[in-house]
């Protein structure tokens, strides 16, 4: 494998986006072809990186470290690919490849420069997954956020602009906190390289350790805003519901970027090697924050009146579950959490696409959301007699698209709620079973882990309730409801996403083994540190 392969996932979307900008808005076919080629190439690149990381055997060595400009790690910026990075790269590439056709169907003509913005978003995502430097992480976060501002506003309209305004204001504030945290950490340690930081943290003198912790906490708050932890996540449901469905499907990955960074930094900087004063710093906050987030997500989901918001609160529940699970810092739980991360991202993305298809086409300009009927316990003037009186003998023929949408909706429900037999259940099981083991061994904080365990199951139950209610109202309660025509590309996107989840159900063993290796690698940061800083022992 060429060493320069590691920088390709960042450079490729950048080049493609630049070419698309040069080609201009009129040559749509060229832009689309370039986008598709870029996404296909990214999937291939990510697969190659993933395979390279699996060939390391069980020793947990890094797949590749790329020193930009060949400067030594402490002075230059490094890109690092370990199993987790490769996994996230592949997830981003696959999601982009699946979402792109859906965007082609009707959304890319609703505004300008959809394709270049999409590529810039991919560049930012890939960069954030690969970088090994805190300030570089900030830069890639800004790249992906700037692209996401453009995408969130794509299609314009008062509702979208108003939601986008909040989204941008919240994220600009988060960026300021990010900078404050990074600069505090730099002030204490004198480096921003993650590996060098991990090496330095045990040796930080006591009088500046509080400052380091303050910096890490401020930095953590910035990521928790992206992750939408309660009470920092009120921006999320409105923004995601207002975005175009294809964009919202891609945004399903954006909260996972926050999770990725928190997982990486909490294990690298404040893992077992961080010394007694800094060990497990912040993990209690993450655990209880995750628990509170799940509760907030359940309440919001049960109260949500349109499908977009329903999906948004599902994103919040999944964030809370992941936050709690990674805060337990058990390798087996982390592996299960990674499986849950993949499945919930794919499932929620598919759900956003289905919700977009179910929205009535004509009403889009006035109000994009699919409004569910207001709940009337007495049924109004349609009494119980009325329900049965107009029952017809002739069979209602369900046209094919409706059947397809119904099946997809059902599959999404089963996936998101974590019911057997689909992979959502397997992922939740892989996460919850080790949690019980940890509880039995007293390896995890007892009350927190129990609360998390209970709430994950309750959240699954409430997802079933909320989605069944929505499904009944959409598919059964309104026989005269007219469904918009689904185009082949949109349907293919949903089929691809759900098919992947199905595939992961059938062949779950190999991915799960890989995830266990990835979690083990994360919980043993010595490999990461020595991979990035080869002369770690020699330097002062």
Partner 1 sequence: MELVLAIAIGVLVASGVWLLLRPRTFQVIIGLTLISYAVNLFIFSIGGLRTGADPVLREVAGRIDQYTDPLPQALVLTAIVIGFATTALFLVVLLTSRGLTGNDHVDGGDGTP
Helix (H, G, I), strand (E, B) or coil at 191: coil
User: Largest Cα–Cα distance of the chain, in whole Å?
Assistant: 86
Residues 97-136 that bind partner 1 (CB under 8 A): 135
Q: Pick one of 173, 447, 454, 485: the residue that binds partner 1 (CB under 8 A).
A: 173
Q: Is 447 in the site for partner 1 (CB under 8 A)?
A: no
Q: Pick one of 165, 299, 488, 510: the residue that binds partner 1 (CB under 8 A).
A: 165
Rounded to whole angstroms, how far apart are CA atoms 24 and 19? 9
Residue 99 is encoded by which pair of tokens?
């979402």
| Residue 446: other Cβ atoms inside 10 A | 11
Question: Looking at 122-130, 152-160, 322-330, 506-514, which segment touches partner 1 (CB under 8 A)?
Answer: 152-160
Residue 343 is encoded by which pair of tokens?
């499945």
Percent of residues in the chain assigned helix, strand, coil, to nearest 5: 75, 0, 25
Residues 29-58 that bind partner 1 (CB under 8 A): none
| Residue 419: other Cβ atoms inside 10 A | 16
Q: Is 386 in the site for partner 1 (CB under 8 A)?
A: no
Q: How many residues bind partner 1 (CB under 8 A)?
A: 28
Q: Is 271 in the site for partner 1 (CB under 8 A)?
A: no
Contact residues for 381 (Cβ-Cβ < 8 A; gap 6+):
none
Rounded to whole angstroms, how far apart are CA atoms 335 and 330? 9
Q: How far apart are CB 376 and partner 1 at their closest, in Å?
A: 24
Distances (CA, A) of 515 to 270, 328, 519: 21, 17, 6
Q: How far apart are CB 320 and partner 1 at their closest, in Å?
A: 26
Q: Is 208 in the site for partner 1 (CB under 8 A)?
A: no
Q: Is 162 in the site for partner 1 (CB under 8 A)?
A: yes
Question: Looking at 137-145, 320-328, 335-343, 498-506, which segment touches partner 1 (CB under 8 A)?
Answer: 137-145
Identify which of residues 78 and 287 has a Cβ nearer to partner 1 in the complex: 78
Q: Is 169 in the site for partner 1 (CB under 8 A)?
A: yes
Q: Is 164 in the site for partner 1 (CB under 8 A)?
A: yes
Q: Is 183 in the site for partner 1 (CB under 8 A)?
A: yes
Q: Pick one of 31, 99, 153, 197: the residue that binds partner 1 (CB under 8 A).
A: 153
Question: Looking at 141-149, 271-279, 453-461, 523-531, which segment touches partner 1 (CB under 8 A)?
Answer: 141-149
Q: Look up tokens 């002062």; give the residue.
A: 540
Rounded to whole angstroms, how far apart are CA atoms 97 and 40? 7
Question: Looking at 98-106, 164-172, 290-298, 496-504, which segment touches partner 1 (CB under 8 A)?
Answer: 164-172
Q: Is 214 in the site for partner 1 (CB under 8 A)?
A: no
Rounded to whole angstroms, how far apart are CA atoms 256 and 347? 13
Closest CA to 408 of 481, 326, 349: 349
Contact 467, 416 (CB under 8 A): yes
Helix (H, G, I), strand (E, B) or coil at 79: strand
Identify which of residues 186 and 429 has a Cβ nearer to partner 1 in the complex: 186
Identify which of residues 187 and 507 has a Cβ nearer to partner 1 in the complex: 187
Q: How far apart are CB 163 and partner 1 at their closest, in Å?
A: 9
Q: Pick one of 132, 157, 258, 531: the residue that binds partner 1 (CB under 8 A).
A: 157
Identify which of residues 173 and 454 has a Cβ nearer to partner 1 in the complex: 173
Q: Is 429 in the site for partner 1 (CB under 8 A)?
A: no
| Residue 126: other Cβ atoms inside 10 A | 31
Rounded to whole angstroms, how far apart are CA atoms 53 and 264? 17
Identify which of residues 30 and 217 has a Cβ nearer to partner 1 in the complex: 217
Contact residues for 164 (Cβ-Cβ < 8 A; gap 6+):
149, 152, 153, 239, 242
Identify which of residues 312 and 511 has a Cβ nearer to partner 1 in the complex: 312
User: Applying CB under 8 A, which residues contact partner 1?
Assistant: 135, 139, 142, 145-146, 149, 153, 156-158, 161-162, 164-166, 168-169, 172-173, 175-176, 179-180, 182-184, 186-187
């Amino acid at each position: 494998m060429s060493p320069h392969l590691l920088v390709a996932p960042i450079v490729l979307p950048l080049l493609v986006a630049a070419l698309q900008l040069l080609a201009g808005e009129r040559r749509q076919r060229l832009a689309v072809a370039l986008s598709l080629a870029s996404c296909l190439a990214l999937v291939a690149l990510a697969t190659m990186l993933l395979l390279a990381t699996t060939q390391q055997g069980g020793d947990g060595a890094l797949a590749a470290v790329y020193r930009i400009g060949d400067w030594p790690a402490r002075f230059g910026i490094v890109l690092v690919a370990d199993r987790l990075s490769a996994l996230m790269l592949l997830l981003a590439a696959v999601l982009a490849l699946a979402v792109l056709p859906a965007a082609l169907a009707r959304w890319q003509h609703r505004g300008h420069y959809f394709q270049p913005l999409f590529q810039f978003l991919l560049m930012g995502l890939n960069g954030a997954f690969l970088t090994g430097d805190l300030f570089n992480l900030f830069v890639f976060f800004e790249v992906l956020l700037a692209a996401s501002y453009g995408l969130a506003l794509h299609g314009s309209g008062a509702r979208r602009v108003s939601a986008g305004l909040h989204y941008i204001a919240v994220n600009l504030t988060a960026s300021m906190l990010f900078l404050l945290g990074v600069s505090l950490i730099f002030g204490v340690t004198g480096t921003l390289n993650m590996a060098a930081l991990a090496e330095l943290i045990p040796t930080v003198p006591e009088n500046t350790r509080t400052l380091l912790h303050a910096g890490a906490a401020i930095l953590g708050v910035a990521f928790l805003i992206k992750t939408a932890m309660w009470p920092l996540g009120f921006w999320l449901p409105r923004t995601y519901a207002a975005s175009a469905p294809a964009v919202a499907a891609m945004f399903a990955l954006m909260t996972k970027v926050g999770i990725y960074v928190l997982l990486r930094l909490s294990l690298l900087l404040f893992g077992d090697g961080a010394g007694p004063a800094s060990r497990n710093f912040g993990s209690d906050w993450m655990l209880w924050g995750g628990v509170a987030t799940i509760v907030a997500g359940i309440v919001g989901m049960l109260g949500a009146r349109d499908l977009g918001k329903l999906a948004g609160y599902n994103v919040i529940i999944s964030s809370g579950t992941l936050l709690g699970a990674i805060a337990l810092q058990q390798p087996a739980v982390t592996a299960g959490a990674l499986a849950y991360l993949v499945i919930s991202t794919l499932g929620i993305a598919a759900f956003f696409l289905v919700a977009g298809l179910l929205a009535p086409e004509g009403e889009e300009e006035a109000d994009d959301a699919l409004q569910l009927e207001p709940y009337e316990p007495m049924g109004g003037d349609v009494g119980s007699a009325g329900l049965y009186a107009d029952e017809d003998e002739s069979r209602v023929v369900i046209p094919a698209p409706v059947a397809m949408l119904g099946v997809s909706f059902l599959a999404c429900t089963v996936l998101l709620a974590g019911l057997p037999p689909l992979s959502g259940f397997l992922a939740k099981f892989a996460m919850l079973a080790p949690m019980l083991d940890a509880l039995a061994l007293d390896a995890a904080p007892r009350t927190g882990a129990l609360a998390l365990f209970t709430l994950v199951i309750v959240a699954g139950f409430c997802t079933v309730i909320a989605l069944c209610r929505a499904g009944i109202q959409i598919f059964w309660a309104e026989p005269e409801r007219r469904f918009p025509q689904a185009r082949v590309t949109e349907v293919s996107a949903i089929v691809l996403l759900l098919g992947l989840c199905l595939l992961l159900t059938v062949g779950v063993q190999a991915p799960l083994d890989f995830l266990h290796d990835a979690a083990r690698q994360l919980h043993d940061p010595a490999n990461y540190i020595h991979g990035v800083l080869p002369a770690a022992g020699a330097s002062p």
